[in-house]
Amino acid sequence: MNSVKNLTLILCLFFLIGCIKFSSTSSDLKNFNLNNVKIDEDTYPVVIIGGGFGGLTAGIYTGQANIKNLLVTGKTPGGAITMSHSVCNWPGEKNISGMALAKKLEDHARKSGANFLQAKVKEVDFSVWPYLIKIKSPNDKSKVIKALSCIIATGAKPVFLNIPGEQKYFGKGVSKCATCDGPLYKNKVVAVIGGGNTAITDASYLSNIAKKVYLIVRRNKLRAKGKVVNEVVSKSNVEILYNTNVKEVIGDGNKITSLKIYNNQNKTTSNLNVDGMFLAIGSIPNSRLFKNKLEMDTRGYILLNKDQQTSKSGVFAVGDVCEPEFKQLVIAAGQGAKAAMQVQKFLENIGYDPTKFSFKEKNDIRENHKESKSGQVIEIKNIDQFKKEVLNYNGKVVVDFYAHWCYPCKMMMPIVKKMAQVLPNIKFVKADISKVDSLGNIWGVRSVPTFLLFKNGKEIYRFTGGKKEEEFKKIIINKF
Which domain CATH number covers 444?
Answer: 3.40.30.10
- Out of 42, 150, 177, 400, the active site residue is 177
Query: Length of the chain in residues, anyone?
Result: 480
Residues with Cβ within 8 Å of residue 440, at least 6 apart in sequence: 183, 184, 401, 431, 433
Residue 120 lies in a domain: yes
What integer pLDDT is reported at residue 130 of this predicted model?
93
Q: List Cβ<8 Å contacts ≥24 apart for 136-141.
A: 137/364, 138/75, 138/469, 141/364
If 0-12 CB within 10 Å is exposed, 13-18 middle and 19+ buried, where does residue 452 land?
buried
Catalytic one of 42, 150, 181, 406: 181
pLDDT at 228: 81
Q: Does 128 lie in the same domain as 113?
A: yes
Is 295 found in the same domain as 263?
no
Q: For residues 311 and 412, state if they share a domain.
A: no
| Nearest CA-CA partner of 187 in 440, 431, 384 | 440
- Asked if 211 and 317 sit in the same domain, the reply is no
**DSSP symbol at 96:** B
Cα distances (Å, whole numbers) of residue 427 to 61, 70, 379, 387, 440: 45, 38, 12, 14, 19
290 vs 307: CA distance, rounded Å: 19
Last residue of a domain, one of 234, 261, 281: 281
Please state, in angstroms and rounded to a whole number, the distance separating the CA atoms of residues 100 and 342: 29
In whole angstroms, give the CA distance from residue 140 to residue 64: 32
Residues 264 and 288 in one domain: no
Could you report the average pLDDT of every consecutive run of 10 residues in the chain (480 residues)? Answer: 52 46 47 77 92 95 93 83 74 84 92 92 94 84 92 92 91 83 89 92 92 95 85 92 96 92 94 95 92 94 94 96 87 96 94 67 42 70 92 94 82 91 93 85 88 95 90 94
- pTM value is 0.71
pLDDT at 357: 60
Provide the terminal-to-terminal Cα distance of the chain, rounded to the nearest Å.
93
Flag whether 373 is in a domain. no
Domain for residue 356, yes or no? no
What's the confidence (pLDDT) of residue 269? 94
Cα–Cα dist 478/476, whole Å:
6
Catalytic member of 42, 150, 180, 202? 180
The parent domain of residue 71 ranges over 33-155+284-349
Asked if residue 6 belongs to a domain, the reply is: no
The neighbouring-strand residues paired with 156 are: 285
- Tell me, yes or no, whether 17 lies in a domain: no
Q: Where is the domain boundary, 281, 298, 321?
A: 281
Task: Determine which helix (DSSP H) or strand (DSSP E) holds 56, and give its type and residue range.
Answer: helix 53-64
Examine residue 202 and state whether it is found in any structural domain, yes or no: yes
Residues 134 and 49 in one domain: yes
- Asked whether residue 317 falls in the same domain as residue 416, the answer is no
Q: Are residues 236 and 268 in the same domain?
A: yes
Burial environment of residue 17 by CB neighbours within 10 A (0 to 12, 13 to 18, 19 or more):
exposed
Total domains, the chain: 3
Is the distance from CB of 149 to CB of 62 less than 8 angstroms?
Answer: no
Cβ contacts of residue 283 below 8 Å, gap of 6+? 156, 157, 158, 159, 320, 327
Are 325 and 428 in the same domain?
Answer: no
Between the alpha carbon of residue 467 and those of residues 79, 182, 209, 369, 396, the distances in Å are 17, 21, 28, 22, 20
255 found inside a domain: yes
Flag whether 3 is in a domain: no
**Same domain, residue pair 333 and 385:** no
Same structural domain for residues 140 and 201? no
Active-site annotation holds for 181: yes
pLDDT of 85 reads 66
Q: How far is CA 251 from the centre of its chain?
A: 29
38 and 150, same domain (yes or no): yes
